[in-house]
Structure 1
């Protein structure tokens, strides 16, 4: 009898795979070679090992600076990220060094040597020195985790190869994730003996589906709520097949279930999912129809102070605006994005304040209205300033910042540019300019070609 996999079973497969690798002391770089669906659980495993409940002896650290083909710039960003670990942090839960001091684990105070050159070799040296300051960890190794690259980023294999070529010091090992169908790490054969490939036989899709199916079924005696959740998965599965007729059938069933569940919040949730599903298979007219229905009803729920209203409303506004952008109806899309930003201001939703103004600013830029575009990008930065530093450094805040700098250079003077640059240094850190030049930032200021047939 075949047993369906569970998320817990898949997690322990990962832990067992690492246990085997951990027993082998010959490698310096471990690469998880997995499918995209497996990335999140491996990331969670590595994050678990960074905490006190980790089971392996090595101490795990993580670096999030975006990879760059310019090694010097990339390593400078990594060095600045390392130094930032020892800066004062407002929220104690993120202050690792403060926690070490509070728990009495430090033999003596540690301060990184800021005079060292901004290279990874300096990081390795400082990490070993940090470990020597911690009771009981003097001889413990470090494992440095670099998250997987996006499919649009350059192959990082040459950089990892350079690390292996220069030689990794004792007690320092690297680990990362490479997605098999979008591989971004190529290592020459001569260095393969220093590399450990981790290829666990995972089936996360089945595990997640199995978890979602718990409590589900087709009988009317089974909870309608469970059937509704299961039907959502069926609808989303259809979007990978681009079969409109099949999707029509599954959405009809979904909407029937949403009506059976009773109440406007369930009905509007069904419309939102339908809008998203049709959007994913590029059926823009059907998507727009359901989005419009959901926007109207969720607005009514918002007016009634129903907590289900706003999350649905903002999701459907984003879908509807994206459809308008696709049809080059920029002014109509701007109206929606600005309405989103204003509503987000009322609700203290910093991320949506940023997105609403960022996207409307980009569209104003495409319309040639540079000054108002610049003002909207400044509003986006202002909204994004309420996000955590880690979020700002890894989100579309960087796109808003890149666009603001680009526009400031065009429509404002040197003094305004200096003020903006000082602000970005405060919001992003000393390496703000490097972040804005990282992979993908050039697209923040890319301008689509217009046609003779745009009447917006």
Structure 2
């Protein structure tokens, strides 16, 4: 039998923790306590289990990254996300409409129960993995989970959440409800895994093995904050990948270094790395590789963020505007809208109000062409807020009211509930 890799062994640990939770009849909420460097591995396991072919558990995992911004709206937003998943699957599931006066939490869990009943013969547990992209208030988040926990009556529908090992926001819940809230400490020893991967890869002279070794060592150096080592290892990984013509892996190595530089507060150096990554992505695109254009698009968005972090707002605005044709070529309306929105953000920050208005209007016009569900998951509410603000600055209160009325018509009068309290930069 082939020996399992360090990563495979840790995925098995997560599998065992889930099985232990799933076998507890009173448990409803799995609180996975994770270190920051363990999140990606837990997410990888959840993604694997969410795949019909790769998953090993007899359970269905549905992942929801809907931002938690307004407690009363969160459940309804989750319900919409669930309906979108069902629609994408092409299945017909009679989830019904929310009852008059029903809370968003109850409406979401009722729809989940209907889905579970529909497929009761196909899977044992419906696991609702809640990983909000943003949380406006940890206290409100915990209160929402309390409400949801009280509504989870069937052991066939359960929730999974990640709790930061340092903050331990859900500790009070776990102490008060030890049977219904089951705590699993991931304890994946990611650095140990990286050392194992590097040691195993170092035993081979094959370029792919050497590249994996370098990336593992780079991740360890990043954890220690050793920037000189990060850049040295990154350069060597780039050399290995470039020599083999692996453009995507060249891009990945540049991204790894750039990310470490950003965390270390060196946005200008990070921007230079992203520019090198874009050059590698452009080579892939020129060579006819299907992923080349997508890599270049994502790299340019990352470059824009690095330029903003370095207060190079004029350059960032130009990057975003010049990226629009690429997003359009890939028919990625969400990212095209983001390009216009972020260009507007940069211009407004520079007090170039006419340019901010023009680019904001481009985002608004594009948002109007989206289908209602696509619009609901876009950043169009931020565009609306920006345009209301710009209308007031450029033409006064009447113009701002007209723009607000237009936003109410398109997005509904509660559109501001979808805004992040801090105002919302990107991407």
Question: Aligning the two structures, in what range does the TM-score lie when normalised by the shorter sequence?
Answer: 0.7 to 0.9
Deviations 1:349-370 (A, max 9, x none): 4454233222211011112233
Q: What secondary structure sits across from 1:240 in the alignment?
A: helix
1:358 partnered with 2:341: yes
C-alpha RMSD of the superposition? 4.7
Q: Which runs of structure 2 are paired with 1:27-46 in the superposition (5 Å)? A: 27-43=27-43, 45=45
Hey, what's the Cα distance between the residues in 2 that align with 1:264 and 1:144? Answer: 37
1:16 is matched with which residue?
16
Contact kept in structure 1, 2:65 and 2:133, CA below 8 Å: no
CA shift for structure 1 position 300: 7.5
CA shift for structure 1 position 149: 6.8
1:169 partnered with 2:153: yes
Hey, what's the Cα distance between the residues in 2 that align with 1:59 and 1:254? Answer: 38
1:147 to 120, 131, 135: 131
Contact kept in structure 2, 1:217 and 1:226, CA below 8 Å: yes
2:360 is matched with which residue?
377
Deviations 1:394-417 (A, max 9, x none): 665654454345445655454443
Q: Which runs of structure 2 are paired with 1:231-380 in the superposition (5 Å)? A: 231-254=214-237, 256-257=239-240, 260-261=243-244, 277-284=260-267, 286-289=269-272, 310=293, 313-314=296-297, 317-318=300-301, 320-380=303-363
Change in CA separation of 1:238 and 1:322 when aligned onto 2, cut-off 3 Å? same
1:67 is matched with which residue?
68
2:409 is matched with which residue?
422
Q: What secondary structure sits across from 2:103 in the alignment?
A: coil
Change in CA separation of 1:423 and 1:262 when aligned onto 2, cut-off 3 Å? same
- Worse-matched range after superposition: 350-359 or 259-268: 259-268
Contact kept in structure 1, 2:32 and 2:185, CA below 8 Å: yes
| TM-score, normalisation: structure 2 | 0.73
Hey, what's the Cα distance between the residues in 2 that align with 1:125 and 1:265? Answer: 43
Hey, what's the Cα distance between the residues in 2 that align with 1:276 and 1:141? Answer: 37
Change in CA separation of 1:83 and 1:235 when aligned onto 2, cut-off 3 Å? closer
1:202 partnered with 2:182: no
Change in CA separation of 1:55 and 1:236 when aligned onto 2, cut-off 3 Å? closer
Hey, what's the Cα distance between the residues in 2 that align with 1:47 and 1:304? Answer: 31
Change in CA separation of 1:385 and 1:224 when aligned onto 2, cut-off 3 Å? farther
Q: What secondary structure sits across from 1:158 in the alignment?
A: helix
Hey, what's the Cα distance between the residues in 1 that align with 2:89 and 2:296? Answer: 32
| TM-score, normalisation: structure 1 | 0.69
Unmatched 5+ residue regions in structure 2? none
Unmatched 5+ residue regions in structure 1? 101-108, 447-456
Deviations 1:12-41 (A, max 9, x none): 322322322233223343312222343345
1:82 is matched with which residue?
79
CA shift for structure 1 position 217: 3.5
Change in CA separation of 1:152 and 1:180 when aligned onto 2, cut-off 3 Å? farther
Hey, what's the Cα distance between the residues in 1 that align with 2:51 and 2:249? Answer: 39
Hey, what's the Cα distance between the residues in 2 that align with 1:84 and 1:249? Answer: 43
Hey, what's the Cα distance between the residues in 2 that align with 1:382 and 1:240? Answer: 43
Larger-Rg structure: 1
Q: Which runs of structure 2 are paired with 1:101-180 in the superposition (5 Å)? A: 111-125=96-110, 127-128=112-113, 134=118, 143-147=127-131, 150=134, 153-155=137-139, 156-163=141-148, 168-171=152-155, 173-180=158-165
Hey, what's the Cα distance between the residues in 2 that align with 1:83 and 1:298? Answer: 35
Contact kept in structure 2, 1:224 and 1:257, CA below 8 Å: yes
Change in CA separation of 1:22 and 1:212 when aligned onto 2, cut-off 3 Å? same
Hey, what's the Cα distance between the residues in 2 that align with 1:226 and 1:387? Answer: 44
Change in CA separation of 1:119 and 1:258 when aligned onto 2, cut-off 3 Å? closer
- Worse-matched range after superposition: 350-359 or 330-339: 350-359
Q: Which runs of structure 2 are paired with 1:208-219 in the superposition (5 Å)? A: 216-217=201-202
Q: What secondary structure sits across from 1:348 in the alignment?
A: coil
- Worse-matched range after superposition: 317-326 or 386-395: 386-395
1:105 is matched with which residue?
none
CA shift for structure 1 position 154: 1.9
1:103 is matched with which residue?
none
1:183 partnered with 2:140: no
Contact kept in structure 2, 1:403 and 1:444, CA below 8 Å: no
1:442 is matched with which residue?
422
Change in CA separation of 1:135 and 1:64 when aligned onto 2, cut-off 3 Å? closer
